[in-house]
């Protein structure tokens, strides 16, 4: 992904390529009226964003974005604000317009998209009805927990709750078989922790201890909100945290999960009894209404065994408190205000430093987008993304792919044998632009003027049933993992696909009025980023069909790992907050994609007449404008809590280091700004892969 991807295609001539860029993507991410009213485009490179007191070769992030940082404050309810968020807000405004209209259309035909969207959004906005409903919508879930009387019935209850979106630690789902991606297999994963990461249970220091103490109070508060007495809730919270700590000990570190071989453990269903003998597996699978299957992938066998041990040794009442808390936690935004207030105080306040909530319409718009992705997505693209734009965007992607194709042939460290396989994989890329060719069918989902929590529960059950039903079926490679308005993009190794939702195809990523340098430095870098993911530390291990297989010669694999280690070492040294370092192993995939993607985008830009003419614009050369555009995409401000949590848990580096870490490795940047070898923005041991 780009926010917290190559094919032997005929390349257009330079003039045609420039003409394509100039006309290809106008108003793709928002309607023309929304962009105009928000001042979306603005200057392509805005000098007001600069910090002239900082030298470009000392800290390019500060130089390019310091003025913007100085003049902007976090909006209400936001732990972070930047270029991504500005575009996302414009898209959200468009969605809000759609949903307000749908909410007023009370006479829409039952079962229609308009009726479902209007009912869901209206229920979310009706806080009086939410208060009146109380905890009645989740009473069946709480009743399932209360009815558990032994380990077997407890395991069945956990499965039923996970189907309803209250995850208790061993979720069952479907996924593409890692070594045969054309088929969907059953998969047992892990989870069940209430803190953001397993390390939060063990980190030392005053801040870490403070978070754990606040979490204990939060657990107790939600149990009190369910009706428990204060003293009982405090004692229950101790048991909940002790149970979660045991599960955290068995949970792998995030960086270890980057190895796809470690999480591929196909196991006969009969063999589950050896890993977890206390769990009645047929009862569990029946709770999901799962189709028959003989093999299940166990992501982390050692975790499953530890979970089974906890089931057998932890008192039943502790498990019940744990499950009741997780029900309250997972439904907190749909329940009376006391639940939402408690959740926000801990999850946004303590963890992220955010004191106020977002306006309710923004929360409800985001919730509707997540719950009714395709119905709302259809309405969004009808307003904001015409079919012709999708075709032209695809042509742009093809040209970046052609540049990467040429780059592979120049790699001195890669053998001809591996180059051939790399080009084959590139040629097999599936390119998804804007929105799905076929929308998912939501006709079986019923939403009819119910309390908000009931609507959310219905959506979760419907989604879980669809996921489970895929077990044993052919992989539907046409499905999307993001909604069309999303300001993001992704590479999926199992499908060998690059995906660019309509939502990201607008300023500051693409600006129809801007020069080529700006668009190549922004949206070109995004396209190159996702393409390069197909060849990062994870993606390179999958072939053109999306199967996990070793298609590299041993020498080439060793050369890649050496070059990737350079990235790991570089990012390990970055310190986004005092005492909090980036995790180089965790972020290496994104950092590799940033460096490779920007390198490919720059080489594509070099083919344009603007680059060849080398004429300055507004005082900057085309090459300088390219790098300024890239840096300004990543402009952002954030709370310290947000920065610390991203550094600890997210595979994406903090924005500042996505600029500094990437550009300091590029001799093209050094030349563009005349940096000396001794300047801070020039790494002595330069990292390079693509």
pLDDT of residue 139: 98
Eight-state DSSP code of residue 180: E
Task: Write the CATH number for 658.
Answer: 3.40.390.10
The domain tally of the chain equals 2
5 found inside a domain:
no
pTM across the whole model: 0.92
409 and 328 within one domain:
no
User: In this structure, are 348 and 375 located in the same domain?
Assistant: no
Rounded to whole angstroms, the Cα distance separating 568 from 660 reads 14
> Is residue 236, in this structure, part of any structural domain at all?
yes
Closest listed residue to residue 91, CA positions, set 427, 658, 484, 415: 484
Secondary structure of 108-142 in HEC code, one letter for each residue: CCCCCHHHHHHHHHHHHHCHHHHHHHCCHHHHHHH
Are residues 568 and 504 part of one domain?
Answer: yes
Check whether residue 311 and residue 398 sit in a common domain: no
Sequence-distant (6+) residues with CB within 8 A of 378 are 113, 435, 439
379 backbone dihedrals φ, ψ, rounded to 5°: -65, -35
Tell me the two tokens of residue 222: 């939600």
Q: pLDDT digits over 34-81, tens only?
A: 333 334 446 789 999 999 999 999 999 999 999 999 999 999 999 999
Q: Does any domain span residue 81?
A: yes
Q: What span, in angstroms and rounded, lies between the C-alpha atoms of 237 and 230?
A: 11
238 & 345 share domain: yes
Q: Is residue 621 part of a domain?
A: yes
Instruction: Select from 325, 355, 385 the last residue of a domain.
Output: 355
Task: Please give the distance of CA 328 from its chain centroid, rounded to a whole number.
Answer: 24
Is the same domain home to 249 and 182?
Answer: yes
pLDDT of residue 19: 30
Give the tokens for residue 67: 């003025």
Nearest C-alpha neighbor of 54 from the set 45, 63, 46: 63
**Domain check: are 337 and 416 in the same one?**
no
Q: Does residue 454 belong to any structural domain of this protein?
A: no
Residue 97 has a pLDDT of 97
Q: How many CA atoms lie within 13 A of 328 on its CB side?
A: 28
Q: What are phi and psi of 151, to 5 degrees?
A: -60, -40
Question: Strand pairing of 497-501 and 430-434?
Answer: parallel
DSSP one-letter string for 261-306: TTT--EEEGGGHHHH-TTS-HHHHHHHTTPPP-SEEEES-HHHHHH
Number of Cβ within 10 Å of residue 489's Cβ equals 25
Residue pair 56/673 in contact (Cβ under 8 Å)? The answer is: yes
The pLDDT of residue 18 is 29
pLDDT, tens digit, 9 for 90 and up, residues 232-268: 999 999 999 999 999 999 999 999 999 999 999 999 9
Q: Which residue range(s) make up the domain with 57?
A: 14-91+371-440+479-672
Q: Could you tell me which of 552, 243, 241 has the C-alpha nearest to residue 411?
A: 552
Length of the chain: 690
Whole-angstrom Cα distance, residue 59 to residue 660? 7
27 Rama class: left (phi>0) / alpha (psi -120 to 50) / beta? left
pLDDT value of residue 349: 98
Q: Give the pLDDT of residue 395.
A: 76
Stretches where the chain sits below pLDDT 70 are: 3-42, 392
Cα first-last separation, the chain: 18
In-domain check, residue 686:
no
pLDDT of residue 281: 96
User: Residue 42's pLDDT is what?
Assistant: 62
Backbone angles phi, psi at 500, to 5 degrees: -130, 95
* Preceding amide of 209 cis, omega within 30: no
Do 581 and 636 reside in the same domain of the chain?
yes
User: Do residues 58 and 663 make contact, with C-beta atoms less than 8 angstroms apart?
Assistant: no
């Amino acid at each position: 992904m780009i926010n917290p991807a190559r094919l032997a295609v005929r390349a257009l001539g330079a003039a045609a390529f420039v003409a394509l860029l100039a006309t290809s993507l106008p108003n793709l991410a928002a309607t023309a009226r929304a962009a105009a009213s928000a001042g979306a485009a603005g200057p392509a490179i805005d000098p007001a964003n600069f910090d002239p007191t900082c030298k470009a070769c000392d800290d390019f992030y500060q130089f390019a974005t310091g003025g913007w940082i100085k003049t902007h404050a976090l909006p209400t309810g936001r732990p972070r604000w930047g270029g991504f968020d500005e575009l996302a807000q414009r898209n959200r405004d468009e969605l809000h317009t759609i949903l307000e209209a749908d909410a007023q259309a009370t006479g829409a035909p039952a079962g229609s998209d308009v009726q479902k969207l209007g009912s869901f959004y209206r229920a979310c906005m009706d806080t009086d009805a939410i208060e009146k409903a109380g905890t009645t919508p989740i009473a069946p879930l709480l009743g399932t927990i209360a009815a558990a009387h032994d380990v077997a019935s407890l395991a069945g209850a956990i499965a039923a709750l996970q189907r309803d979106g209250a995850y208790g630690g061993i979720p069952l789902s479907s996924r593409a078989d890692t070594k045969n991606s054309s088929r969907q297999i059953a998969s047992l994963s892990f989870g069940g922790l209430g803190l953001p990461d397993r390390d939060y249970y063990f980190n030392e220091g005053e801040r870490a201890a403070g978070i754990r103490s606040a979490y204990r109070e939060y657990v107790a508060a939600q149990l009190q909100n369910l009706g428990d007495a204060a003293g009982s809730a405090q004692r229950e919270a101790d048991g909940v945290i002790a149970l979660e700590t045991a599960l955290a000990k068995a949970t792998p570190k995030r960086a270890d999960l980057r190895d796809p071989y470690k999480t591929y453990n196909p196991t006969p269903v009969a063999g589950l009894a050896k890993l977890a003998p206390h769990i009645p597996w047929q009862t569990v699978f029946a709770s999901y209404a799962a189709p028959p299957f003989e093999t299940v992938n166990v992501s982390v066998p050692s975790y499953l065994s530890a979970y089974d041990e906890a089931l057998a040794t932890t008192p039943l009442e502790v498990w019940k408190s744990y499950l009741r808390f997780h029900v309250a936690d997972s439904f907190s935004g749909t329940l009376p205000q006391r639940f939402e207030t408690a959740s926000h105080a801990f999850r946004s306040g303590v963890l992220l430093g955010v004191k106020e909530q977002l306006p309710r319409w923004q929360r409800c718009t985001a919730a509707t987008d997540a719950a009714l992705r395709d119905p709302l997505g259809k309405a969004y693209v009808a307003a904001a993304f015409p079919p012709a734009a999708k075709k032209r965007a695809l042509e742009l992607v093809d040209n970046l792919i052609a540049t990467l194709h040429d780059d592979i042939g120049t790699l001195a460290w890669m053998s001809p044998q591996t180059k051939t396989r790399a080009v084959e994989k590139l040629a097999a890329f599936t390119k998804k632009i804007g929105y799905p060719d076929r929308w998912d069918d939501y006709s079986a989902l019923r939403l009819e003027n119910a309390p908000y929590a009931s609507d959310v529960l219905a959506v979760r059950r419907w989604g879980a049933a669809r996921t489970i039903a895929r077990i044993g079926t052919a992989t539907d490679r046409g499905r999307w993992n993001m909604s069309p308005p999303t300001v993001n993009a992704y590479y999926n190794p199992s499908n060998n696909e690059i995906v660019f939702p309509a939502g990201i195809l607008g300023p500051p990523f693409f600006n129809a009025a801007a020069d080529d340098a700006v668009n190549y430095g922004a949206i070109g870098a995004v396209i190159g980023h996702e393409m390069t993911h197909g060849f990062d530390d994870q993606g390179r291990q999958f072939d053109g069909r999306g199967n996990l297989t070793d298609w590299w010669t041993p020498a080439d694999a060793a050369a890649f790992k050496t070059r990737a280690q350079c990235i790991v070492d570089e990012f390990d040294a970055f310190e986004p907050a005092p005492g909090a370092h980036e995790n180089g192993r965790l972020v290496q995939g994104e950092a590799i994609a940033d460096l490779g993607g920007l390198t490919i985008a720059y080489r594509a830009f070099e083919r344009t007449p603007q680059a060849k003419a080398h004429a300055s614009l507004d005082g900057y050369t085309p090459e300088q404008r390219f790098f300024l555009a890239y840096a300004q995409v990543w402009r952002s401000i954030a709370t310290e809590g947000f920065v610390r949590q991203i550094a600890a848990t997210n595979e994406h580096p903090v924005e500042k280091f996505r600029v500094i870490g990437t550009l300091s490795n590029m001799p093209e940047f050094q030349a563009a700004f005349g940096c000396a070898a001794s300047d801070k923005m020039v790494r002595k041991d330069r990292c390079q892969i693509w």
